[in-house]
């Protein structure tokens, strides 16, 4: 594709990204209220300028040349995993922390590869996206940079894979969709939970009718991050406390996709059905203030700070076909990690947390006994798990699901196949962030969810049971 050198058009985005990484005013970067973000009703999407990318197939890549931008928590381990996949060459690494860049190159050369080009400047991510020896930009930066980098990468002819959520506003969601359609480049959100072992098994069961018609599903991100939000980066925390800044300034479901992605795929969202509208409600904020008072003292700046994020958010989504999803977000309460992953159909149900369990007709009042559960699970073990599950466990990365995600991504790019999640999924799953806040500020009123596919969902087929054979 023709290279786009319109760097000047991205100066504002570059400034935003700089602020998000702590080199400018993070407060300014987050000053725009997510409840006032250019909301566009579902009935009135912008005019399509390109071609639909549902089922997009691009030229096969014998070797996938990758640039990794953001080498902190997620990016550091991505380097390690990607180096274990055949047909991968990491050509550029980029981060504002020089030590992260040097450490990434140590991994690369240690694996027998030539060193990657190194970038450490405030807007060097733009230079990375412009390189001729990059096919895929793998984006592991803080949230505010996800859309700016993805859009610029696609405009420069690159496929892009970006961490979650892909966008923070409806405007950004449409930017991703429009750019992917205009450039015909892949844009995949790295929702690794779609590749966890039980989620894949229940997807296979659902595709084979084990649960009947699925009418309701539940997902969550319940993860106590109080300690992590207040840690300095040198202590293992977030760069310039960027996640804590979001907790100060926004309410709603700020991180919906870990729970939402797997159940949305199981329910065929954007492929035979789509989100119609949502309503959202949050508890008051209490936990961060209490934690800060205990850690830093009752009169400390951290304790007297105002935090907007309610401790628990519950968002309900209804689909066009009359099904429902519940998605929760809680990074404050002292409770065990939980993504729920519950699906309920006309023939039975399954849930993952706190322990995987399945109940089916004609004895759905009780869960399957261990022997029956293991027999069913074995029968419907997903092909990806059968093919690379053991290696994935050895490689690690959230128990192996990170490796399965990366392996399948590279497999699709090398074989010219559609990706498992596309830009429409990235937009639909991420738009819950601003729309949940919009609902909250209007006393939990229902809010329409745009059709990012512009009607393509009606004829698209649900994500199949894929392999890497």
pLDDT in tens, 334-365: 999 999 999 999 999 999 999 999 999 999 99
Q: Provide the percentage of residues in the chain whose pLDDT is more than 90.
A: 88
Non-local CB neighbours of 56 within 8 Å, separated by 6+ positions: 180, 184, 186, 418, 419, 422
Place of tokens 């319109």: 6
DSSP 315: E
Q: Answer whether residue 68 shows pLDDT above 70.
A: yes
Q: Answer whether residue 4 shows pLDDT above 60.
A: no
Average pLDDT over residues 225-239: 94
Q: Answer whether residue 132 shows pLDDT above 60.
A: yes
* Beta strand 214-222 pairing with 342-345: antiparallel
Q: What pLDDT sits at residue 16?
A: 41
* Beta strand 187-189 pairing with 159-162: parallel
Q: What pLDDT sits at residue 46?
A: 87
CB of 101 within 8 A of CB of 71?
yes
Q: Answer whether residue 79 shows pLDDT above 90.
A: yes
Q: Answer whether residue 330 shows pLDDT above 80.
A: yes
Residues 420 and 442: their CA atoms lie apart, in Å, by: 35
Closest CA to 188 of 153, 156, 163: 163
Average pLDDT over residues 39-57: 80
Residue 159 forms beta bridges with which residues? 136
Q: Model confidence over 190-216: pLDDT tens digits? A: 999 999 999 999 999 999 999 999 999
* Beta strand 117-119 pairing with 88-94: parallel
Q: What pLDDT sits at residue 17?
A: 42
Q: What pLDDT sits at residue 8?
A: 53
Residue 338 forms beta bridges with which residues? 222
Could you tell me the end-to-end alpha-carbon distance of the chain, in angstroms, rounded to an integer? 30
* Beta strand 348-351 pairing with 357-360: antiparallel
Q: Provide the percentage of residues in the chain whose pLDDT is more than 70.
A: 91
Average model confidence (pLDDT) for the chain?
Answer: 92
Q: Model confidence over 410-439: pLDDT tens digits? A: 999 999 999 999 999 999 999 999 999 999
Q: What is the DSSP string of 417-433?
A: PPPSS-HHHHHHHHTHH
Residues 436 and 34: their CA atoms lie apart, in Å, by: 9
Residues 284 and 234: their CA atoms lie apart, in Å, by: 31
Q: Model confidence over 361-404: pLDDT tens digits? A: 999 999 999 999 999 999 999 999 999 999 999 998 899 999 99
Lowest mean pLDDT among 32-46, 99-113, 423-437: 32-46
Q: What pLDDT sits at residue 350?
A: 98
Q: What pLDDT sits at residue 32?
A: 37
CB of 335 within 8 A of CB of 326?
no
Closest CA to 436 of 268, 308, 274: 308
Non-local CB neighbours of 37 within 8 Å, separated by 6+ positions: 168, 169, 170, 171, 434
Residues 37 and 47: their CA atoms lie apart, in Å, by: 18
Q: What pLDDT sits at residue 45?
A: 80
Residue 302 forms beta bridges with which residues? none
Q: What pLDDT sits at residue 10?
A: 52
Q: Answer whether residue 13 shows pLDDT above 90.
A: no
Q: What are phi and psi of 5, to 5 degrees?
A: -105, 25
Kindly state the tokens that stand for 435.
């729309």
Tell me how many degrees the CA angle 439-284-250 measures, rounded to the nearest 5.
55
Kindly state the tokens that stand for 214.
């699925």
């Amino acid at each position: 594709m023709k290279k786009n050198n319109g760097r000047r058009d991205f100066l504002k985005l570059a400034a935003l990204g700089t602020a998000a990484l702590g080199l400018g005013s993070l407060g300014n970067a987050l000053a725009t209220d997510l409840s006032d973000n250019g909301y566009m009703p579902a009935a009135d999407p912008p005019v399509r300028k390109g071609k639909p990318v549902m089922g997009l197939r691009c030229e096969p890549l014998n070797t996938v040349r990758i640039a990794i931008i953001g080498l902190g928590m997620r990016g550091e381990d991505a380097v390690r995993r990607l180096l274990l996949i055949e047909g991968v060459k990491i050509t550029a690494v980029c981060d504002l922390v020089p030590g992260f860049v040097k450490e990434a190159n140590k991994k690369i050369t240690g694996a027998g590869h030539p060193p990657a080009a190194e970038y450490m400047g405030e807007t060097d991510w733009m230079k990375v996206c412009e390189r001729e020896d990059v096919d895929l930009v793998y984006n592991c930066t803080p949230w505010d940079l996800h859309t700016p980098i993805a859009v610029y990468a696609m405009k420069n002819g690159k496929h892009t894979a970006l961490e979650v959520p892909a966008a923070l506003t409806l405007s950004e969601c449409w930017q991703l969709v429009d750019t992917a359609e205009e450039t015909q480049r892949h844009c995949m959100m790295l929702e690794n939970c779609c590749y966890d072992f039980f989620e894949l098994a229940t997807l296979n069961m659902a595709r084979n009718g084990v649960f009947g018609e699925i009418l309701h599903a539940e997902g969550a991100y319940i993860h106590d991050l109080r300690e992590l939000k207040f840690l300095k980066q040198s202590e293992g925390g977030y760069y310039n406390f960027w996640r804590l800044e979001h907790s100060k300034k926004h309410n709603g479901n700020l991180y919906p996709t870990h729970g939402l992605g797997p159940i949305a795929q199981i329910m065929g969202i954007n492929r035979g059905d789509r989100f119609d509208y949502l309503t959202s409600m949050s508890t008051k904020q209490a936990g961060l203030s209490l934690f800060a008072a205990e850690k830093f003292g009752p009169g400390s700046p951290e304790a007297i700070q105002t935090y907007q994020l309610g401790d628990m958010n519950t968002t309900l989504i209804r689909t066009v076909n009359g099904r429902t999803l519940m998605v929760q977000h809680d990074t404050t309460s002292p409770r065990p990690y939980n993504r729920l992953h519950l699906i309920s159909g006309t023939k039975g149900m399954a849930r993952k947390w706190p322990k995987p369990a399945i109940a089916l007709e004609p004895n759905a009042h009780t869960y399957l006994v261990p022997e029956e559960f293991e027999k069913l699970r074995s029968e419907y073990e997903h092909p990806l798990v059968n093919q690379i599950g053991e290696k994935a466990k050895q490689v690690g990365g959230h128990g192996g699901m990170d490796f399965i995600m990366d392996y399948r991504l590279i497999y699709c790019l090398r074989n010219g196949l559609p990706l498992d999640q596309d830009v429409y999924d990235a937009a639909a799953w991420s738009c819950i962030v601003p729309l949940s806040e919009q609902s909250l500020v209007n006393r939990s009123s229902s809010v329409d969810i745009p059709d990012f596919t512009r009607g393509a969902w009606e004829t698209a087929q649900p994500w199949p049971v894929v392999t890497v054979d």
